[in-house]
Structure 1
Amino acid sequence: MASHSWLMLERESPRHRLPDDLRAGDPMGGRDCGWVEQMLPFVRQFSRPGDTVFDPFAGFGTTLLAARLENRLASGCEVDAGRIDLIRERLTRHGLLSGTTLLHGSCDALDDGALPPFDLCLANVPYFGCRWPGTPSTAQLYDSQSYAQHLEGLRHVFYRVRSGLREGGACIAMVQNIRLGDRVLPLAFDLARILGSLFVMEEERVLVYPHESEEEKDSADARTDRRHEYGLVFRKQRERIDLKATAALLDALRAQGHAFTLLGSFARFLQGPQDTQGTPPADADIRVDPDPQRLNALLHWLRDQGFALTSWGDPVPLPLHFDSYRGRYYFRADRIDSAGALVRLDICYEQ
């Protein structure tokens, strides 16, 4: 893949296009089917022959087909049984069904061990507001009843993706911001925030699709025609933090009278670098009493020092309403300075 930040897609190959008879049998007429040409550059750059490429939203098998064309193993989950059958037929026609694993259901609902490990996650995500006409299913994100519910469903899926993705593997999501009537929903940016709570962002690509006519090209209408989307590239890897700045933060917390117990990898790091076995800590974990007043004071102080406060990727507003966070176990405090250096503190308040 070229090093520039955009990928211009010129045409869809008739050889790889979803056949018309399969498209006609889909509840949505195949209108959300991506291009194999869209996926091939990502398969080539972010995996190797023999690796397993996983798609948690297998849909029409476009990602799986791209993976098999490049001599990768393919694995995918799909909640609609009809589309499972469609994928099998599509790959069979290409002679590429062998080496493919298809799982019926949402990956976050699978039993432990049912999802084989994989080297790359590559997916087109379902869009909100599509008015799914197929078989109803609580796992069908096309049928989400609210935007908040849709985002929560995406969070659950990618949380499970993280557990199956090998260390160092890439998680790549194709997504665009969407227009519903006169309202624009920042789905791409909201998904980036969700993925950022689970992985480390590495890159983005803007995928640009061709216009259908010269008249469209010359249009003076400033409203977007939505012929682009984002390829959000994240990596499952440990963050790099500023170790000295993190140690200074802990000293400052003690000086301010905030009581805590330091634990985990940063505690071992302070005892001696040899105890980390060459792997530096990715954060500092502290345990505090689950006292709402003390927690509120601690979070206020961190916010005043320039830290962003989150809980499972969601911003934490202050003053703290502690009961809303019971069962979430910890708050995260991040601060990135103007040189890009990160200080990260995980504040554990429950066992």
Structure 2
Amino acid sequence: MDSRSWLLLEPDPPELRLPEDLRARDPFGGRDCGWVAQMRPFVRHYAAPGARVFDPFCGFGTTLLAAALEGRDACGLEIDPARAQLARERLHRHGIDAPIATGTLPETPAPAPFDLCLTNVPYFGCRWPGEADAQAGQLYLERDYEAYLRRLRDLFHAVRDALPEDGYCIVMAENLNLDGRLLPLAWDLARVLGALFVARDERLLCYRREARPLAPGDARSDRSHEYALVFQKQRERVCLDSTRDALQALRDAGFAFDLYGSYPRWLADPGVREPADADLLLPDDQAEFDRLLWWLHERDYALSLWGEPLRPPLRLPRLREHWYVRAQRRDRLGRLVRLDLSLADQAGRQTPAAR
């Protein structure tokens, strides 16, 4: 892979395509089978020799085949047992023995440890022809877009937990056109992933398709591109000076809180590892907590609850269920302030380390 922000992909040669007899056994006719050529450059660039590549939506085993062709190990998860079997047969014909488990994250763990997550998400709005009763959890069957995004968040949260530090999570997605309206799936997915990983870059994947004329004012395109969203599991650096200023501004505004965790340890000893956020313990006071959230909201902090955007107010019982609210702000120089807001009486929390 070179420095270009786009890749022009060529179709797979016949010997790497999904065999016709396997395609005929699939309810979709294999129409959603990806290209091995799509995945191979990312395997080469982001997985060292001997590393293992994981695909949580392994489908027909395309990513696993790409990994094996590049000399890497692979494993996958597939919710549809019939497709999982098709993937095993396809790989077996290439002499590849990669573990494929039937299920989905987070309920079913990956069948083996992995170093790179590389996948193409099931698209929202597909008309899955399989048996609905036998496909509980099938994202193709999700009727509500926000629920679809929440389930992707939960799945990639499990990916983050299993991924080693500095490992990459690369997800392919395209924006969709549903009923004549653009649905920004790729961009919404990037927001979901951005709450879990550090965004590194993107690649635009381009496919050759014959152009056709459009009537004046017709906005439709042939959807001949998609995005490869490149994220990494890593502690994102916060600006310590900006964080100190933000905490002082909170005190000046009359908010009471205690600090705990890595930030006060760093204040006591700047030689230790720099913190990735400042953890605040707040009084159990609904009115004061609402005042704090509105204060942050009015100062353009992005508020989120486990990756979901949040607009105040928030009831304290819901905060206890989710442990913390994240408030973060980034200025035009890229300096990041990240505050995690919890209640002082929550079980399992550490004793406050600084005032």
Instruction: Using structure 2 for the length normalisation, give the TM-score.
Output: 0.92
Relative to structure 2, which stretch is displaced further, 313-322 or 62-71?
313-322
- Map residues 12-161 of structure 1 onto 2, 5 A cutoff: 12-97=12-97, 100-110=98-108, 115-136=111-132, 137-161=135-159
Please give the alpha-carbon distance, in whole angstroms, between the structure 1 residues aligned to 2:71 and 2:148. 34
Given residue 226 of structure 1, which amino acid in structure 2 is its aligned partner?
A: R
Check whether the contact 2:100–2:111 (CA below 8 A) recurs between aligned residues: no
Superposed displacement of residue 218, structure 1: 5.0
Superposed displacement of residue 322, structure 1: 4.7
- Residue of structure 1 in register with 2:352 after alignment: none
Please give the alpha-carbon distance, in whole angstroms, between the structure 1 residues aligned to 2:136 and 2:307. 23
Superposed displacement of residue 219, structure 1: 4.8
- Residue of structure 2 in register with 1:307 after alignment: 301
- Residue of structure 1 in register with 2:268 after alignment: 271
Given residue 260 of structure 2, which amino acid in structure 1 is its aligned partner?
A: L
Superposed displacement of residue 297, structure 1: 1.0
- Residue of structure 1 in register with 2:280 after alignment: 286
- Residue of structure 1 in register with 2:224 after alignment: 227
Instruction: Using structure 1 for the length normalisation, give the TM-score.
Output: 0.93
Check whether the contact 1:115–1:164 (CA below 8 A) recurs between aligned residues: no
* 1:85 partner SS: helix
Please give the alpha-carbon distance, in whole angstroms, between the structure 1 residues aligned to 2:258 and 2:111. 37
Superposed displacement of residue 75, structure 1: 0.9
* 1:278-316 deviation per Cα after TM superposition (whole angstroms, max 9, x unaligned): x21111111112422111111122223331111112221
Unaligned runs of 5+ in 1: none
Superposed displacement of residue 161, structure 1: 0.6
Matched, 1:210 2:204: no
- Residue of structure 2 in register with 1:317 after alignment: 311
- Residue of structure 1 in register with 2:179 after alignment: 181
Matched, 1:239 2:236: yes
Given residue 193 of structure 1, which amino acid in structure 2 is its aligned partner?
A: R
Given residue 294 of structure 1, which amino acid in structure 2 is its aligned partner?
A: E
Q: Which of 171, 174, 177 is the matching residue for 2:169?
A: 171
* 1:60 partner SS: coil
* 1:258 partner SS: coil
Check whether the contact 2:76–2:111 (CA below 8 A) recurs between aligned residues: no
Superposed displacement of residue 133, structure 1: 1.1
Q: Kindly, what percent of the aligned residue pairs are identical?
A: 52
Superposed displacement of residue 257, structure 1: 1.6
Superposed displacement of residue 23, structure 1: 1.0
Please give the alpha-carbon distance, in whole angstroms, between the structure 1 residues aligned to 2:83 and 2:63. 14
Superposed displacement of residue 85, structure 1: 0.8
Relative to structure 2, which stretch is displaced further, 309-318 or 198-207?
309-318
* 1:311-343 deviation per Cα after TM superposition (whole angstroms, max 9, x unaligned): 112221134455554411111111111111111
Please give the alpha-carbon distance, in whole angstroms, between the structure 1 residues aligned to 2:300 and 2:151. 31
Relative to structure 2, which stretch is displaced further, 125-134 or 322-331?
322-331
* 1:107 partner SS: coil
Superposed displacement of residue 266, structure 1: 0.7
Unaligned runs of 5+ in 2: 348-355
Please give the alpha-carbon distance, in whole angstroms, between the structure 1 residues aligned to 2:37 and 2:284. 52
Please give the alpha-carbon distance, in whole angstroms, between the structure 2 residues aligned to 1:158 and 1:246. 28
Superposed displacement of residue 115, structure 1: 4.4
Please give the alpha-carbon distance, in whole angstroms, between the structure 1 residues aligned to 2:146 and 2:309. 14
Moved over 4 A (4+): 217-221, 321-326
Check whether the contact 1:5–1:204 (CA below 8 A) recurs between aligned residues: yes
Q: How many residues align?
A: 341
